Amino acid sequence: MGILSGAVWDEQFNREYAAAKARERDYAERHKSLQRMLASIDECFSRSPDLNERLLKRATAKMSPASERTFLKFKMFCEELGLPLLPEATPQGITLFVLEYAADVREAKRNKSLGRSLR
Protein backbone atom coordinates (compact mmCIF):
# COMPACT_ATOMS: atom_id res chain seq x y z
CA MET A 1 0.00 0.00 0.00
CA GLY A 2 1.24 3.44 -0.75
CA ILE A 3 1.23 6.76 1.05
CA LEU A 4 -1.15 8.30 -1.46
CA SER A 5 -3.73 5.52 -1.22
CA GLY A 6 -4.46 6.23 2.43
CA ALA A 7 -4.44 2.52 3.17
CA VAL A 8 -1.93 0.85 5.45
CA TRP A 9 -0.79 -2.71 5.84
CA ASP A 10 -2.50 -4.35 8.71
CA GLU A 11 -2.16 -7.72 10.40
CA GLN A 12 -4.72 -9.37 8.13
CA PHE A 13 -2.84 -8.24 5.03
CA ASN A 14 0.43 -9.48 6.53
CA ARG A 15 -1.15 -12.89 7.25
CA GLU A 16 -2.59 -13.10 3.73
CA TYR A 17 0.75 -12.10 2.21
CA ALA A 18 2.61 -14.68 4.33
CA ALA A 19 0.07 -17.36 3.36
CA ALA A 20 0.45 -16.51 -0.34
CA LYS A 21 4.24 -16.76 -0.05
CA ALA A 22 3.91 -20.11 1.74
CA ARG A 23 1.64 -21.39 -1.06
CA GLU A 24 4.20 -20.25 -3.63
CA ARG A 25 6.98 -22.11 -1.77
CA ASP A 26 4.81 -25.25 -1.52
CA TYR A 27 4.02 -25.04 -5.23
CA ALA A 28 7.72 -24.64 -6.08
CA GLU A 29 8.63 -27.66 -3.91
CA ARG A 30 5.85 -29.71 -5.49
CA HIS A 31 7.01 -28.68 -8.95
CA LYS A 32 10.61 -29.74 -8.18
CA SER A 33 9.37 -33.08 -6.83
CA LEU A 34 7.24 -33.61 -9.92
CA GLN A 35 10.20 -32.78 -12.17
CA ARG A 36 12.30 -35.40 -10.36
CA MET A 37 9.53 -37.99 -10.82
CA LEU A 38 9.16 -37.14 -14.51
CA ALA A 39 12.93 -37.42 -15.03
CA SER A 40 12.89 -40.83 -13.35
CA ILE A 41 10.04 -42.03 -15.57
CA ASP A 42 11.85 -40.65 -18.64
CA GLU A 43 14.91 -42.68 -17.66
CA CYS A 44 12.80 -45.86 -17.44
CA PHE A 45 11.21 -45.25 -20.84
CA SER A 46 14.54 -44.44 -22.44
CA ARG A 47 15.76 -47.90 -21.50
CA SER A 48 13.01 -49.47 -23.60
CA PRO A 49 12.89 -48.10 -27.16
CA ASP A 50 10.58 -51.01 -28.02
CA LEU A 51 7.96 -49.73 -25.57
CA ASN A 52 8.09 -46.26 -27.08
CA GLU A 53 7.75 -47.75 -30.57
CA ARG A 54 4.75 -49.88 -29.58
CA LEU A 55 3.03 -46.90 -27.98
CA LEU A 56 3.58 -44.89 -31.15
CA LYS A 57 2.18 -47.65 -33.41
CA ARG A 58 -1.01 -47.86 -31.37
CA ALA A 59 -1.56 -44.13 -31.51
CA THR A 60 -4.50 -44.34 -33.87
CA ALA A 61 -6.47 -46.97 -31.98
CA LYS A 62 -10.12 -45.99 -31.47
CA MET A 63 -11.16 -45.40 -27.87
CA SER A 64 -13.95 -47.45 -26.31
CA PRO A 65 -16.64 -45.72 -24.21
CA ALA A 66 -14.89 -46.96 -21.05
CA SER A 67 -11.60 -45.50 -22.29
CA GLU A 68 -13.34 -42.23 -23.06
CA ARG A 69 -14.54 -42.03 -19.45
CA THR A 70 -11.02 -42.85 -18.29
CA PHE A 71 -9.68 -40.16 -20.60
CA LEU A 72 -11.87 -37.56 -18.90
CA LYS A 73 -10.39 -38.65 -15.56
CA PHE A 74 -6.93 -38.41 -17.13
CA LYS A 75 -7.66 -34.92 -18.42
CA MET A 76 -8.70 -33.73 -14.96
CA PHE A 77 -5.63 -35.44 -13.45
CA CYS A 78 -3.30 -33.64 -15.86
CA GLU A 79 -4.99 -30.29 -15.27
CA GLU A 80 -4.72 -30.76 -11.51
CA LEU A 81 -0.98 -31.47 -11.70
CA GLY A 82 -0.30 -28.97 -14.47
CA LEU A 83 0.90 -31.70 -16.85
CA PRO A 84 0.57 -31.33 -20.62
CA LEU A 85 -2.41 -33.07 -22.15
CA LEU A 86 -2.94 -33.16 -25.90
CA PRO A 87 -1.07 -33.32 -28.15
CA GLU A 88 1.91 -33.21 -25.78
CA ALA A 89 0.77 -35.85 -23.27
CA THR A 90 3.92 -37.34 -21.83
CA PRO A 91 4.57 -40.98 -20.94
CA GLN A 92 5.28 -39.74 -17.42
CA GLY A 93 1.81 -38.26 -17.09
CA ILE A 94 0.21 -41.46 -18.32
CA THR A 95 2.33 -43.55 -15.94
CA LEU A 96 1.50 -41.35 -12.96
CA PHE A 97 -2.19 -41.56 -13.82
CA VAL A 98 -2.14 -45.36 -14.08
CA LEU A 99 -0.28 -45.62 -10.78
CA GLU A 100 -2.76 -43.28 -9.11
CA TYR A 101 -6.04 -44.66 -10.47
CA ALA A 102 -5.58 -48.32 -11.36
CA ALA A 103 -7.45 -50.22 -8.68
CA ASP A 104 -6.44 -53.59 -10.05
CA VAL A 105 -4.85 -55.25 -13.07
CA ARG A 106 -8.04 -55.04 -15.15
CA GLU A 107 -8.24 -51.28 -14.58
CA ALA A 108 -4.56 -50.89 -15.38
CA LYS A 109 -5.04 -52.75 -18.67
CA ARG A 110 -7.95 -50.49 -19.56
CA ASN A 111 -5.83 -47.45 -18.72
CA LYS A 112 -3.11 -48.92 -20.92
CA SER A 113 -5.48 -48.54 -23.86
CA LEU A 114 -5.73 -44.88 -22.94
CA GLY A 115 -1.98 -44.61 -23.41
CA ARG A 116 -2.34 -46.10 -26.90
CA SER A 117 -5.05 -43.62 -27.76
CA LEU A 118 -3.02 -40.62 -26.62
CA ARG A 119 -0.02 -41.33 -28.79
Is 2 within a domain? no
Is 4 within a domain? no
**pLDDT value at position 24?**
92
Is 1 within a domain? no
Is 75 within a domain? yes
96, 33 contact by CB (below 8 A):
no
pLDDT greater than 90 at residue 108: no
**pLDDT value at position 115?**
52
- pLDDT tens digits along 50-80: 877 776 666 556 777 887 888 888 888 888 8
Q: Which domain holds residue 114?
A: 11-118
Is 41 within a domain? yes
Residues 4-15 have a mean pLDDT of 71
Is 6 within a domain? no
Is 17 within a domain? yes
**pLDDT value at position 13?**
81
pLDDT greater than 90 at residue 21: yes
pLDDT greater than 90 at residue 49: no
First to last CA, the chain: 50
How many separate domains does the chain show?
1
